[in-house]
Amino acid sequence: MRIETLAITSTRFEDKNAGSVASPIFLSTTFERETDGSYANGYIYTRADNPNRQTLEKSIASLENGAVGFAFASGMQATTALFQSLEPGNHIITPNDAYFATNVLIQEVFSRWGLEMTMVDMTNPENIRAAIRPNTRLVWIETPSNPQLKISDITAIAAIAHENDALCVVDNTWASPVGQQPLNLDADIVMHSTTKYFGGHSDVLGGALVLKKDNELAQKLRDIQKLTGGVPSPFDCWLITRGIKTLPLRVKAQTENAYKLSLFLENHPEIEAVHYPGLPSHPQYAIAKKQMLGFGAMLSVQVKGNEQKAMEITGKLKLFTTATSLGGVESLVEHRKSVEGIHSSTPENLLRVSVGLENIDDMIEDWNNALAL
Ligand SMILES: *Cc1c(COP(=O)(O)O)cnc(C)c1O
């Protein structure tokens, strides 16, 4: 089945009691046990499993063409669970242009757990080969990267990871399975912040891991999920499941808007550079074209001028709300360097843009006005 159909069928909960078409929300934390000690429907306690979570996990796994999925209370909790499945002394290779908190989590928390980390520029796979150590167990890819939209070659990097007995994980939050399916490109695991495109309405926090195989690692993650309890509530699962139904249509429409906006901005005299993988001028356009199904709805621009000039423009934009996060129906803009802090290597004149579902002509007008001197 195609992704638009899967988004509808995989999120349907078959309600045998009332026959409801929309899914019920199962708020119950506990489920009835039979006199023989069994559980009629397999549910025992909501930290371990819940009908809404199971529907969500199966749906996300099917959208990413994986064998098994795990839902968490946030993207960072999904990342945490994966790192917790590693052993002290293991080494991780991460991108130097990754979601800021991913690298900080390793530096601040998992260094005390004994995890070692090397950050590299992943636009050249040879940098990963050079960073491999005997104890490297995980290569973390984020493509397109945050906030500079760098593209890494998933298949090439997965091959290097596998030659060295390491797993290849892709944070696929920005592309969503509509724009990129890493498990079909030889990655082993996909991570998502479902807070973004899956939820799609900026009103629910969530995360997920999808594994290509239901193997020993999957069992380990199932245990970690159940024991640590960093799970989404039934209502959170319900909201994300509801979001999935329109995910393919939203992402396609937002991607089209992002492409048109990037073309407009690229030709504007007040813009120094536009970073969008769908532009032929993007340095890794060829790789993006090869591995992406759509170029996504995120872009960043470097304005002509300094940090203050960039901040001023965010104030002049009326349609683009100045706020962090991405993937919702409403367009957002954010000055990244001032969010990431003094150690950030993000250019001071860079604005990150999450393109929403408003009319593209209104978006272009808004930027045109904001960039007018
Ligand atoms: C938002 C985000 C995360 C973290 O997810 P939360 O749901 O905020 O915990 C991780 N990676 C990327 C690329 C993100 O955009």
Chain center to CA of 67: 19
pLDDT of residue 344: 83
Q: Is 196 a catalytic residue?
A: yes
User: Does position 82 have pLDDT exceeding 80, yes or no?
Assistant: yes
Residue 237, pLDDT > 90, answer: yes
Ligand 1 pocket, 205 CB below 6 A? yes
As a whole number, the mean pLDDT across the chain is: 97
Structure confidence at residue 335 (pLDDT): 96
Residue nearest to atom 5 of ligand 1 (CA): 75
Query: Residue 102 above 80 pLDDT?
Result: yes
pLDDT average, residue stretch 169-196: 98
Query: What gap in Å lies between CA 284 and CA 88, rounded to an integer?
Result: 35
Provide the pLDDT for residue 284. 97
Atom of ligand 1 nearest to the CA of 174: 13
Q: What's residue 34's pLDDT?
A: 96
pLDDT of residue 212: 98
Beta strands in 31-99 (DSSP E): 68-72, 91-95
pLDDT digits (tens, 9 = 90+) for 315-361: 999 999 999 999 999 999 999 999 988 788 899 999 999 999 999 99
Ligand 1 pocket, mutate which of 83, 148, 193 (most atoms under 8 A from CB) = 193
Q: Where are the beta strands (DSSP E) in the chain?
A: 68-72, 91-95, 116-120, 136-142, 167-171, 189-193, 207-211, 271-275, 298-303, 321-322, 332-335, 350-354
User: Would residue 43 show up in a list of annotated catalytic residues for this protein?
Assistant: no
Measured from the CB, is residue 95 less than 6 Å from ligand 1?
Answer: no
Per-residue confidence band for 373, with pLDDT thresholds at 50, 70 and 90: confident
Q: What structural domains does the chain harbor? A: 3-242 (3.40.640.10), 248-371 (3.90.1150.10)
Closest-CA residue, ligand 1 atom 6, reads 75
Q: What is the pTM of this model?
A: 0.97
Task: Give the mean pLDDT of 162-169.
Answer: 98
Share of the chain above pLDDT 90, in %: 96
47 is annotated as an active-site residue: yes
238: Cβ below 6 Å to ligand 1? no
Whole-number Å distance, alpha carbon 146 to ligand 1 midpoint, is 10
Quote the ligand 1 centre to 76 CA distance (angstroms): 6
Tell me what the mean pLDDT of segment 120-133 comes to: 97
